Chains A and B, each alone.
Chain A
Amino acid sequence: MEIGKGTHTITRRQLLKRAGTAAGALAFPAITPGRALGKDGAVAPSERIVLGGIGIRNRGGLVLSHMLNEPGVHFAAIADVRADRREAVKAMADAKNGDGSCATYRDFRELLARDDIDAVLIATGDRWHATASMLAAEAGKDVYSEKPCAMSIAQTQRLADTIGRTGCVFQAGTQRRNISNFVHAVELAQTGKLGRLHTLHASIYELTDRHDWLPAQPEPPREVIDWDMWLGPAPWRPFNQAYVDGGWRGFYDFDSGARLLDWGAHTLDLCQWANQADATTPVEYEPLDLPGDNAITCRYANGVKLVLRRTGWLDLGTCPVRFEGDDGWIETGDSGQTVVSAETLRAELPAPTLVGTAPESHARDFFDCVKSRGTPRANAAVMRQSHLACHAAALAWKLGRKLRFDPVKEEFVGDDEANRMRSRARREPWSV
């Protein structure tokens, strides 16, 4: 079975260029035309970005609320397998638009078939992200997909390839590449102010890999909850309300990589960036047997260590990262606070302007690129590499042994079992 590598190296290199350095202003000045023209910030309909949503609940609702505030963005339609979510999101959008114009669909393919929709926000839950993103890309839409973006190494490759092939402007919902305290920490690392980097730390949440089935419950009517479509590409299992209400996390079939990518998609991604390793991945992944912790130590070809761990962090909020070099270290998290090894380093840090998980800046980056056809910070090429690394680390944990990975061939070295686990079958008819 072939698990293909990426497309043109030229494509990947160019896509990585934009995200390669953190330096300078947080976002290129907005390109949206008409912004400076006033008229109460109104933007002509022909200049608007028309946005659709697929699977929007808690996280998606937060992101959407920020997107709705962007001038020049009009939310036109929501697709969801749950009737109550369709109604709730429509209400949110109608309130913002001041009319009843937001359309609802149970089947997102109908939404994708609309010519007027330019871009989609996908927040369905891990099992659907890649498939929905790829179908949207093939329909000519730009995509903002919540993370984790893909369920396996193979699906990560296929997703990145599809994005590249279709010319889709893609932003993974790993907004910390656009949040100032993280950006500045990465700048310190990239510009050598910490000296030669030796160890990067990425926080992860509790690792869980469940294969059991919850007790079967009677399936609701399709118009209320479309269980078949909720499952989508995930293998069949009997219905239980708990999955649909958010209790899907930790299940192998629904959750990407033993929950490692829950935070890892953010934190490991930031470490890749700090290490200027956006074009590669670590080559070794070793799970550590520590009571009361989940930890995996990874190593890049150039010797830099990357430690994924759950505990032992300073109290700086969720998703903390820590970068250590010969001349100093920095640790920061979603609270916006930063701790540095020497106060002289702090002089290099401007005050954070945007903290934590607020997605405004990241959303704005996406919409600017939708207009300019530029490359967002958390683009498919960057996402590909950090997701490969995350999945490799998760497999090392699952298998309980050290794995070696070849970032060029994108396969494990000398471990057939691990290589077999790079891919999962997708339930028909969701093959993309």
Chain B
Amino acid sequence: MERVTGGPVTGPAWIPEEPNAMPYSKHANAALVAALLLAATAVALLGQNAAPSLPDEAAKLVALLESNAPVYDKAMACRRLAVIGDKSAVPALASLLTDEKLATYARSGLEAIPGPAADDALREAVGRLHGELLLGVLDSIGKRRDPRAVEAVAQLLRSEEGRVAETAARTLGYVGTAEAAGVLRDALNEGPANLRPAVGTACLICAEKLEQQGDRRLALALCEAVRQTPVPKPIALAATHRAILARGREGLPLLAALLDSVDEDRFRLGLQVARELGAEACGTLTARFADRSAPRQALLIAAMSDVAPSAAVPVFIGAVAAQDPDVQRAAIGALGHVDSVAAVRPLIQALAPDNEDLRAAARASLRSLHARGAEAALLAGMKAADGEVRVELIGVLADRRYAAATDALLTEAGSPDENVAAAAFRALGDLAAPTHLPALVKLLLATNSDAVAVQAEAAVAAVAARLADPERRADSVLAALPSTDKPAARAALIRVLGGIGGQGAFAAIGAALGAADTEVKDAALRAMADWPDARAAQPLLSVVKSATDETHRTLALRGYVRLVRLTEDDDATATVRAYADVLALARNLEAKKLVLGGLADVAHPQALKLACEQLDDAAVRAEAAVAVVKIARATATTDPLGARAALGEVLETSPDQPVAAEARKILEQLGGPLESPAPASRLTKLFDGKTFAGWEGNLEWFRIEDGAIVGGSLTREIPRNEFLCTTREYANFELRLEVKLVANKGNAGIQIRSQRIPHHHEVVGYQADVAEGMWGSLYDESRRRKSLADPDPKVLAEVLKPTDWNEYVIRCEGKRIQLWLNGHQTVDYTEPDEEIPQTGLIGLQIHGGPASEVWCRDLEIAELP
């Protein structure tokens, strides 16, 4: 049952931060710690192997409390005893009641242990404790509600000490018996004045308890006693509060008195109590609404609204016409929650445009009003209203999703008032069903106002979208096309078709591309340029080819490029071809730039090539360079040669541009060794430092010493060349190791892309040489038997540590082999011969000859794709 805290505490931002160096781990529940501690103790004491039973555990904890154990241990023992202790633990706990640090822990136990023993102990403590420690005991008695404590606690009412008397009173309140009630009532009447606040509060607490036990009469008596006594206002109010609620209906006259009171606090209490009484209080509230001050009226409205909104409707309606805007607003708000259709007319009146604040409130209420017939009333109201109010009501009908208003809204859509018509179309977009489409289209065609047309087009598209079958959505619009030859109308229909989609719409738009009228043609082109799928590609391309108007060409081209990007699939070559097609057609800079922008996102060697070709064009060189660099970055690992070549071209053509720096960076990454230190995830050990796992060869001449592979011998002549090779082959990789040729005597090397000659000791393949005068050279072992590439001797002299460890890096990538010694490149060779294998084993050579040793360690490899 271990409860262990988690790791770092990083919660939502609004949890206060925690200090960093918190050792939160490994902290277990102290109870468990204590139990384990005690189990160990038990084992020691009792010589048993099992953990103690609960009674045994409790007994051990009691013993601990009686010992000199540290405070913490005792605190945890108390805590545990609160859960498992019985009366046998009480004395030990009680003895801690005088300990300032431990008293609370002890009382946890005494509060929790059932039975009279704990009560007895707490009562007994009342007689001997003083000061704050006594207050704690009183608190515990109050929680246990020990009826036998009343007498002892009552005596403390006379105490002069600090807060003892007050706390004693409170405790009596929580004990809450009739006996306690009597003591408290006497104290209220006869006790000292300065104790009255505490006693008053205690009486109310006691009244609560008594009521829970069913003794309402006594509870009420206590409340009344408090009300008759001079006590601080909050207590007097609370007493009245309880007195009213205890009486229920019979409390209404008292409620009325509160509401009539000149005193603001009493009035406010009345509002609160009214809410708690509920619907019964509504009459009392409404009866005293008239002739009140405006602030009070506003508050009364709020209370009525909470209590019984529908019963107070006449009051609300009357108050909508009040002088005071706060009262109006309260009334308008309240009407939003009633169940009465009578609310509609006054709320509509409140929509009149002089006060934006009230209008907003009226709007909100009309939206939320839940009353049968409300919508029909709203509809009627809308028809009867004019100007702005009509517009508002159209909006409300839409917000309420009142579909039955559609016919009326269709009428409004034809209104000569632009605002009304526009609002109607907006609403129809939300409410109309597809069956209304023909009517909507007709209305769209009839409108003369641009502002309205925008809403109308949007509405038609929105409603059409509700048809399940995508191919049917454009039907109404298509049907209307032949019926009008007004260019503006046709253009509008074409626009709408663009928003609806489907094959029919596509065909119509395509046809309209060839329209004579420029407005229609323009609309068609824009619709085609925004078309969401690949169908539009060919028509757009045709426009690019054939358009005479530059704006149109650009529009079409822009649309085409957008489509190519949108419909990019796995076949990058098709995408590149599409770009190439349109690039050939691009006549101006803007167009070419657009294409290059799209091309830059295609990570493929052919895209790279196409982009490179544009480097020749000085006008678009900058954009082409950016595209090349972006593509090269993406293709660098799969097509390093192509990327390198392209980047080289960028450097040639645009050496001073910022893009050149980017190009250089990538080239460095491509051309040089892997970043150092190489990320652990890429380099893996080729030699584990201890065994020849993964290697094979003549172990008479190869051994492992001090974590290194040692080839040869310093004491014996070496009869012939020996090779230790990997058991698997490698193709493209970067190999790193450290190698030392003892005293720089002898001849050794690192074989790469090599093969063993069957039944022979020789190995065929490239070798990175290790020998005086030959360090850093690339030799072709047992094959062309010559040095393929050599370093600059001056560089070598500076770089080589002849008798010490040198770092060798060998990188094989396609046909290219590069060598570095101690970070300096010694060879950069590209194999011209197609027949030479580009895969093979890796090996260590020690040359036959006089005694010599080569040492190799820290062999690591990162394979390249």
Contacts and interface: CB of A to CB of B under 8 A. Distances in A.
Interface string B110-125: 1110100000000000
Contact of A10 (B75, B76, B276, B298): B276
B144 A1 contact: yes
Contacts of A1: 111-112, 114, 143-145
A5 interface: yes
A2 B136 contact: no
B136 A427 contact: yes
A31 interface: yes
Interface in B75-117: 75-76, 79, 82-84, 100-105, 107-108, 110-112, 114
Contacts of A165: 204-205, 208, 238, 241-242
Given A165-B204, A373-B303, A58 B269 contact: no
A408 interface: no
B256 interface: no
Interface in B169-196: 170
Interface stretch (B329-337, B345-353, B405-413, B683-691): B329-337
A318 B212 CA distance: 41
Contact of B167 (A258, A399, A431): A431
Given A31-B299, A58-B14, A250-B5, A429 B136 contact: yes
Interface stretch (A21-29, A74-82, A270-278, A324-332): A21-29
A22 to B, nearest CB: 12
Interface in A143-165: 154, 161, 165
Nearest to A368: B302
Nearest to B167: A431
B64 interface: no
Contacts of B3: 207-209, 258, 398
A49 interface: no
Contacts of B139: 425-426, 428, 431
B129 to A, nearest CB: 10
A32 to B, nearest CB: 8
A14 B275 contact: yes
Interface string A45-68: 000000000000111001000000
Given A235-B104, A249-B9, A431-B136, A15 B368 contact: no
B27 A212 contact: yes
A139 interface: yes
B298 A31 contact: yes
B828 interface: no
Contacts of A198: none
Given A31-B302, A161-B208, A425 B275 contact: no
Given A357-B14, A373-B271, A139 B234 contact: yes
A10 B251 CA distance: 14
B136 A242 contact: no
Contacts of B298: 31, 33
A101 interface: no
A8 interface: yes
Contact of A210 (B1, B15, B27, B201): B27
A420 B136 contact: no
Interface string B692-734: 0000000000000000000000000000000000000000000
Nearest to A8: B245
B337 A247 contact: no
Contact of A213 (B72, B305, B364): B72
Contacts of A334: 12
Interface stretch (B17-25, B381-389, B539-547, B622-630): B17-25
B268 interface: yes
Given A11-B276, A36-B325, A166 B234 contact: yes
Interface string A193-219: 000000000000111111111000000
Given A154-B143, A431-B135, A206 B6 contact: yes
A421 interface: yes
B278 interface: yes
A29 B298 CA distance: 11
B482 interface: no
Counting chain B CB atoms within 10 Å of each CB, the highest count among A62, A138, A237 belongs to A138
Contacts of A29: 329-330, 332-333, 361, 364
A17 B303 CA distance: 13
Nearest to A26: B364
Nearest to A27: B333
Contact of A211 (B29, B134, B144, B370): B29
A222 interface: no
Contacts of B234: 138-140, 166
B337 A166 contact: no
B510 to A, nearest CB: 31
Interface residues of B, number: 100
A402 interface: no
Nearest to B298: A31
Contacts of B211: 7-8
Nearest to A247: B18
Contacts of B33: 211
B399 to A, nearest CB: 9
B275 A375 contact: yes
B671 to A, nearest CB: 41
A424 B108 contact: yes
Interface string A398-410: 1110000000000
A31 B330 contact: yes
Given A14-B276, A18-B306, A425-B111, A431 B27 contact: no
Interface in B22-76: 22, 24, 27, 29-31, 33, 72, 75-76
A289 B234 CA distance: 50
Contacts of B248: 10
Interface in A59-114: 59, 62
Interface string B360-382: 01001000101000000000000
B605 interface: no
Contacts of B370: 23
A278 B193 CA distance: 42
B55 to A, nearest CB: 14
Nearest to A162: B205
Contacts of B221: none
B104 to A, nearest CB: 4
B76 A211 contact: yes
Given A58-B14, A431-B139, A4 B19 contact: no
A374 B368 contact: no
A5 B212 contact: yes
B16 A59 contact: yes
Contacts of A431: 135-136, 138-139, 142, 167, 170
B758 interface: no
A28 B302 contact: yes
Contacts of B294: 33
Contacts of B17: 58, 246
Contact of A250 (B9, B103, B145): B9
A235 B101 CA distance: 8
Given A235-B75, A429-B135, 20 more contacts: A1-B111, A1-B114, A2-B144, A4-B208, A8-B211, A8-B245, A11-B245, A14-B276, A29-B332, A33-B295, A58-B17, A247-B19, A249-B15, A319-B12, A373-B299, A375-B275, A420-B83, A425-B140, A426-B139, A428-B104
Query: Which 5 pairs across A and B sit closest by C-beta, in order of nearness?
Result: A211-B30, A140-B234, A431-B139, A428-B136, A246-B16
26 contacts: A1-B112, A1-B144, A4-B208, A10-B277, A58-B16, A59-B15, A165-B208, A165-B238, A165-B242, A167-B272, A208-B3, A210-B30, A211-B76, A211-B79, A236-B104, A237-B75, A262-B15, A357-B12, A372-B271, A373-B269, A373-B303, A417-B83, A417-B84, A423-B111, A426-B104, A429-B135
Interface of A: 1-5, 7-8, 10-11, 13-15, 17-18, 23-25, 28-29, 31, 33-37, 57-59, 62, 138-140, 154, 161, 165-167, 169, 205-213, 235-237, 242, 245-247, 249-250, 258, 262, 318-319, 334, 357, 371-375, 398-400, 416-417, 420-421, 423-429, 431
